[in-house]
Amino acid sequence: MATENNYAYNSKIEGDLVVTKLDTAINWIRKHSVWPMPMGLACCAIELMAVGASRFDISRFGMEVMRFSPRQADCMIVSGTVTYKMAEVVRRIYDQMAEPKWVVAMGACASTGGMYRSYAVLQGVDRIVPVDVYISGCPPRPEALLDGMMKIQDKIEREPSVKNLMNRDMHKAPEKKCKPAPAHA
Amino acid sequence: MESALVEEITKKFDGATPRESIDHPAVNIPVDLLLSVVEWLRDEKSFDLLMDVTAIDWSEDASPRFTGIYHLASTTKHEYIRLASNCEDDVEPELPTLSKLFPAANWHERETYDMLGIRYKGHPDLRRILMWDDYPYHPLRKEFPLAGIDTDLPAADVAEATGAKVIPAPMMGGPFHAPQTGAMSKREPRAADQSWNEAKPKPSTN
Ligand code: SF4
């Protein structure tokens, strides 16, 4: 009795090639392997930790590989109140992260200073690092963070990755300007 | 508040006077007696816990301007006492350190130094603790605005790369605080008067 061997490559069955653009392929890979840098600074960080719990299952999005080393991370999640004293550290860690990198401002404090209208708190982390996604809430629920991370994925998907790679001067970080500090009235 | 302990202190230490207080016994102590009073309370009266070191700024034109405040508790007798000492100098206030009597005074005094600018004579390591090292102001002083004062960012390289500065925070009808009455769900911190902001100033009342 002759049996057909379907285990090996069979051109009759799998003859089609998938044609895609390099951009799409790169973005697809990047999008599903976001390694976040948890920049936990205050209460929001607790919600960030909750995202790692089984009931939210961040692994479904391929983002569970939280790296506490900036060299291995490519998406900084700023979760908590950024004080001026800490701002320096946040920026330094951002600078040490590998390109390409993205920033999520999680919660009211990281996005705008939140309720801390005070002399000690940086009024929005976008003053020192370029933010890609802002998440509202005080604190945002873990679902909101997941939603924000999916927004980052959408954003990664639309990036002209090849162009960025080609244009990159290997010794210079790409221009990604932060919003300049507004002159105070 | 009347108390046998306050009476005992005022009798024993010349210059100590009872201090008005609505909760716990309190005494005014001349600065030069402060250490001996605290030591006596600790060793003879079993006040074995230094709960708090802080200070009061009475305002720029008051003299004495700064008063150092100390809260001591006895864990065996369950008593509290408050000591207050006026700083002699209004411009460069100074108090003796308690860190040799109570190690806990170390960081309490650093905090008071940071926030009010009172120097503690004899402190082993009087550095700022909340604000960064070269911060030029003391935020709990009366003349310091809550929103802050325009200053440079602590890290010069970050300031250069980003153009960021330490700028006064927008008050927007603030400061923000949580109302103490009403349903829990309605007690999110908010500005009491949201009708004004930096662009549309508060209407003057007169
Ligand atoms: S936004 Fe709210 S929960 Fe988050 S760090 Fe600020 S105060 Fe905490």
- Which pLDDT score is estimated for A184? 54
Q: Which of B150, B172, B189 sits opposite A184 (nearest CB)?
A: B150
- pLDDT for res A9: 62
Q: Tell me the one-letter amino acid at B181.
A: T
* Nearest neighbour of B199 by CB, restricted to A115, A138, A185: A185
Q: What is the pTM of this model?
A: 0.82
Structure-model confidence comparison of residues A46 and A175, the more confident one: A46
Is the separation of the CB atoms in B142 and B57 below 8 Å?
yes
Question: What is the C-alpha to C-alpha distance for residues A159 and A156, in angstroms, rounded to an integer?
Answer: 5
Q: Which residues line ligand 1 (CB under 6 A)?
A: A 42-44, 80-81, 107-109, 114, 138-139
In angstroms, the CA A119 to CA B165 distance is 12
pLDDT in tens, A23-40: 889 999 999 999 999 999
Q: Are A100 and A74 in contact (CB under 8 A)?
A: yes
pLDDT above 60 for A3: no
d(CA A176, CA A53): 33
**Could you tell me how many CB contacts below 8 A there are between chain A and chain B?**
85
- Per residue in A96-125, pLDDT (tens digit) is 998 889 999 999 999 998 888 889 999 999
The H or E element spanning position B55 is strand B49-57
What are the CA-CA distances from residue B32 to residues B13, B14, B119, B180, B190 (Å)? 11, 11, 15, 42, 45
Interface list for chain B against chain A, based on CB atoms closer than 8 Å = 130-132, 137, 139, 144-150, 153-155, 158, 161-172, 174-176, 188-189, 198-199
Is the CB of residue B122 less than 8 Å from the CB of residue B100? yes
Question: Is residue A1 over pLDDT 60?
Answer: no
pLDDT in tens, A8-17: 666 666 666 6
pLDDT at B184: 87
Low-confidence ranges of chain B (pLDDT < 70): 1-2, 205-206
ipTM of the complex: 0.82
Find which of A5-19, A62-76, A161-175 is predicted with most confidence, using mean pLDDT. Answer: A62-76
Give pLDDT, residue B138. Answer: 94
- Token pair recorded at residue A105: 């401002």
Q: Which residues of A touch B148 (CB under 8 A)?
A: 118-120
At A144 the three-state DSSP class reads helix
Provide the pLDDT for residue B191: 82
What's residue A4's pLDDT?
55
